[in-house]
Amino acid sequence: MRNNFPEFAKTGIQKARQMGADHAELFVVKNRSLEVEIKDGSLEQMKQAESQGVGLRVIKGNRQGFSFSSDFRSSALDRMVTQAIANSTYNDEEPALYFPGPGKKYPQMDLWDADTGNHSLDEKIELARETARCAEQYDARVQRIERSGYEEGDVEMWLANSNGVLLHQKGNYCGLFCLALGEKDGEQQSGYGMDSCIALRELSPERAGTMAGRRAVQLLGAAPVASGVMDLVLEPLITMQMLGIISACFSGEAVLKNKSFLAGRLGDCVASPELTLIDDGTLPNRLGSASFDGEGTASQRTVLLENGVLQNYLYDCLSAAKAGTSSTGNGMRGSYKGTPHISTSNYYLQAGSQTPAQLTGHVERGIYVTEILGAHTANPVSGDFSFGASGILIEHGRLSRPVRGITIAGNFQQLLQKVCGVGNDLTFYGSQGAPTMRIAEISVSGT
């Protein structure tokens, strides 16, 4: 497809225009994936998959139509064009709808590691085994490894439209994962660990295995705690999950529909001065990076919150046009089978200056939170939330005993204002990252 795509795209766009489309866009994706899973030291299963296909979007009379196929023959392209134009008649008119022209400058992203493909399958299986060993060695209470594994994937995509955009990029990723089981006095607790990156040489079985082992044992023997108002210290994974919940509130589409508690707040101080939140599709060697988004808009760095002040929302082409601004390059596409939608690229909380120990040391009585449940129940419009949580009690600045069965409830509009410390340990989990974070005076329901 690399050499044939320009001609294929030209043919498809011409056919669409000849059949009545005002504008046309072709998006081609080729995927390859591998996953191996280890159980009891032996290869349990191996999955390999390859796929490729093309998605076609058209604009006719301010209406968008879409179709897709895994067949690249001329006859299939004819059917796609016919179907996309027919589908457009079922959609409402969107006068602001458009496809972008070529960007003035696309960031040059090196997202492909050729060396990963040079490693043998046996080497990759051994990485999964080593991850399991690291989890087992973390603590004597790690009794069993449920599974561990290695995964990798290659993604190559091409995009062209009738406004002169013609783009190509390729990238890959790899990762390790482990599920460990801890046990003490008949009580069991599971813990999951992971590590992911672009280049296999940067993968760390120790990081993934240690994470799984630690999470498998840290809550053994946990007991309830009395209800009260106390400080919370969130480990990086939980900080990421909490901020991930509100990521949809930065969507320009949600703001336009008044489905975000951040609507109409640009320039306002909506959070603690400790918080600077960024979405950056141009970060080197990150899984969410790309030269362009799923519409052909150049990727960029967008500061969402700066010292607590709301600076920007995230836009695709349509929402940007409706808002009278420019796309931020966040029109993302997970597959050739779907149209673009607003999503984050590399979304992260900027690191602070304090160590995790310093953040904990300032807490007289609180909870170091290591697990939350029910995050999907949060309301992005009002900001209300109520989570089940577990963690470790903090007493006089020190971690004491594990606790479970607590509920944390409140509103994100107030919670963001109550952040009183951000750690220097920014950690990425896939394309989202966060450091340790301290929040003051949150209602905790226990016994």
Q: Tabulate helix, strand, coil % of the chain (nearest 5).
A: 25, 40, 35
Local confidence band at 62 (pLDDT 50, 70, 90 cut-offs): very high
Q: Are 85 and 19 in contact (CB under 8 A)?
A: yes
Question: Percent of the chain having pLDDT more than 70?
Answer: 99
What is the C-alpha separation between 214 and 139, in angstroms, rounded?
Answer: 8
Residue that wins the pLDDT comparison between 382 and 396: 396
- Token couple for 118: 């040079």
What is the C-alpha separation between 12 and 24, in angstroms, rounded?
Answer: 8
Provide the CATH number for the domain formed by 114-155+169-217 in this structure. Answer: 3.30.2290.10
Residue range 199-209, pLDDT digits in tens = 999 999 999 99
Residue range 321-378, pLDDT digits in tens = 999 999 999 999 989 999 999 999 999 999 999 999 999 999 999 999 999 988 778 8
Residue 102 has pLDDT above 80, yes or no: yes
Local confidence band at 149 (pLDDT 50, 70, 90 cut-offs): very high
- Token couple for 113: 């590691």
**Structural element, H or E, at residue 422:** strand 419-422
Give the per-residue pLDDT at 60.
96
Rounded average pLDDT over 418-424: 96
Local confidence band at 191 (pLDDT 50, 70, 90 cut-offs): very high
Residue 11 has pLDDT above 70, yes or no: yes
Give the per-residue pLDDT at 3.
63
Instruction: Report the alpha-carbon angle 16-17-23, nearest 5.
Output: 90
Q: Within 13 Å, how many C-alpha atoms sit on residue 295's CB side? A: 27
Residue 41 has pLDDT above 90, yes or no: no
Local confidence band at 436 (pLDDT 50, 70, 90 cut-offs): very high
Query: In CATH terms, is domain 5-88 a member of 3.20.20.60?
Result: no
Residues of the chain with CATH 3.30.2290.10: 5-88, 114-155+169-217
